[in-house]
Amino acid sequence: MSPTPQDSTAVSVGFIYPDHAAEDDYPYAEKLLGGTARLPVEHVYGIDLHAIPELLDLGSPDRLAEGAARLAAHDPAAVVWACTSGSFVYGWEGAHDQVERLSRAAGGLPTSSTSFAFVRAAEALGVRTVAVAASYPDDVAELFVDFLRRGGVDVVGMSSADIVTAAEVGRLSPDDVVKLIADRDRPDADALLVPDTAMRTLALIELLERRLGKPVLTANQVTVWEGLRLVGVTPTVPGLGTLFRRKGT
């Protein structure tokens, strides 16, 4: 994808992304934003497993400080840890500590993570109940459910695809992604949450919402939204689902 011409005054929101899988969702979102913001991505690296010890290491303060240092060259106004499992694995209090440490490493900038982005996006949409379509093994996915409930989100169902690595998720075809998500919907859920930034979803959200008749919140979508929210940029963006059609959320 060729880079989108940017206004030099456009706000920069930086994202720390783990390893390599679906980071091309960010330039895709930047293009749809049409010059409203720059969305630079820098990477941190760990062992590519959806397993608790490896996820705790991936989201450790030292790794995130490395990512913040790399993002400094982009002069971001806010920084987001673009990883769901590498944030909720720390639990509710631990994830707060994680973003506070990241803020200090980023020179006091506003910071957040994908896990908090899901909670805030659900609140912004006013959804009462959600279902979770997870790519992770069950033990990891259950930690996400626990995190959502601590954030006041009523989870009425969770199903997992038991995919062991982020790289495997990143290799899923668009048809496979749609099937994985749509097959895990629940009729009693007001919205469907898809928690893996390794999954390419941005180009599929509108299709999924039409098919399911409800908001679909995906990891890279809510991560971009959260970063923009941190800097007070809340544009209406066609193509990124219900969340981005609600100006001012």
> What does the pLDDT profile of the chain (249 residues) look like in tens digits?
333 444 557 999 999 999 999 999 999 999 999 989 999 999 999 988 899 999 999 999 999 999 999 999 999 999 999 999 999 999 999 999 999 999 999 999 999 999 999 999 999 999 999 999 999 999 999 999 999 999 999 999 998 888 988 889 989 999 999 999 999 999 999 999 999 999 999 999 999 999 999 999 999 999 999 999 999 998 899 999 999 997 554
Same domain, yes or no: 72 and 32: yes
Q: What residues have CB less than 8 Å from 12, skipping those under 6 apart?
A: 37, 38, 39, 40, 74, 75, 76, 77
Say how many domains are in the chain.
Answer: 2
Q: Does residue 57 lie within any of the structural domains?
A: yes
- pLDDT score at 8: 59
Whether 84 and 198 have beta carbons less than 8 Å apart is answered as no
Same domain, yes or no: 109 and 157: no
Q: What is the pLDDT of residues 215-241, one digit of tens each?
A: 999 999 999 999 999 999 988 999 999
Same domain, yes or no: 146 and 87: no
User: What is the overall mean pLDDT for the chain?
Assistant: 93
Whether 199 and 169 have beta carbons less than 8 Å apart is answered as yes
Cα–Cα distance list, 179 to 51, 118, 194, 201 (Å): 24, 21, 12, 12
- pLDDT score at 161: 87
Pinpoint the alpha helices (H) of 34-136.
Answer: 52-58, 61-71, 85-88, 91-105, 114-125
- Choose among 171, 191, 182: nearest CA to 118: 191
Distance separating alpha carbons of residues 145 and 191, to the nearest angstrom: 14
Q: What residues have CB less than 8 Å from 130, skipping those under 6 apart?
A: 122, 148, 153, 154, 155, 156, 189, 190, 191, 192, 193, 217
Could you tell me which residues are beta bridge partners of residue 120? none
- Listing DSSP states for 125-138 in one string gives HT-SEEEEEE-S-H
Could you tell me which residues are beta bridge partners of residue 243? none
Distance separating alpha carbons of residues 93 and 241, to the nearest angstrom: 30
Instruction: Report pTM.
Output: 0.94
- pLDDT score at 98: 98
- pLDDT score at 107: 97
Q: What is the pLDDT of residues 58-86, one digit of tens each?
A: 999 999 999 999 999 999 999 999 999 99
Q: Does residue 213 lie within any of the structural domains?
A: yes
Distance separating alpha carbons of residues 71 and 15, to the nearest angstrom: 8
Q: Does residue 151 lie within any of the structural domains?
A: yes
| Residue 57: domain span | 11-116+221-245
- At residue 26, φ and ψ (nearest 5 deg) are -75, -45
Same domain, yes or no: 142 and 209: yes
Whether 199 and 22 have beta carbons less than 8 Å apart is answered as yes
- pLDDT score at 3: 39
Distance separating alpha carbons of residues 242 and 229, to the nearest angstrom: 15
Q: Does residue 5 lie within any of the structural domains?
A: no
Same domain, yes or no: 105 and 18: yes
* Residue 195 belongs to domain with CATH number: 3.40.50.12500
For residue 113 the two structure tokens come to 């993570």
Same domain, yes or no: 15 and 112: yes
Distance separating alpha carbons of residues 148 and 84, to the nearest angstrom: 11
